[in-house]
Amino acid sequence: MAIIIAGWIDLDVEDVTDIIASAKAHIDGAYTENGCIHYIWTKDVFVPGRIHVYEEWSETADLQYHFDNHWYKDMGGHLRQFPRKGSQIRKFRVDLIEPVYDPSGTPRADFFTAK
């Protein structure tokens, strides 16, 4: 079952571009871990100081390994260098994944293969 980590971090800075760029080694390192499908940190272009976080992991054991590994701890240390104003990061279990568009090209809110 896939696990999604998604949310935001607000730092007490105007521009987070250099903060994200200097975290590249930690981001690249996470991609070397088993089960890491996506590990994306990106600047919000509308909210100064905001970083969006999106991660996708194959299963719970892979995510736990990441939490116990130095790449996670090193990223935390990197971010602690900058005053934080707030954050909201959540995890989601995903039991069904399918395309937004069905075979006819129609966007669907329901899960058409689950019927």
pTM of the model: 0.89
Place of tokens 């896939």: 2
Q: What is the mean pLDDT of residues 77-82?
A: 96
Under the banding of pLDDT at 50, 70 and 90, the label for residue 1 is confident
Residue range(s) defining the domain that contains residue 6: 2-114
Share of the chain above pLDDT 90, in %: 93
Q: What is the pLDDT of residue 115?
A: 56
Structurally, the chain folds into a number of domains equal to 1
Under the banding of pLDDT at 50, 70 and 90, the label for residue 73 is very high
Q: What is the pLDDT of residue 43?
A: 98
Kindly report the CATH number assigned to the domain that includes residue 103: 3.30.70.100
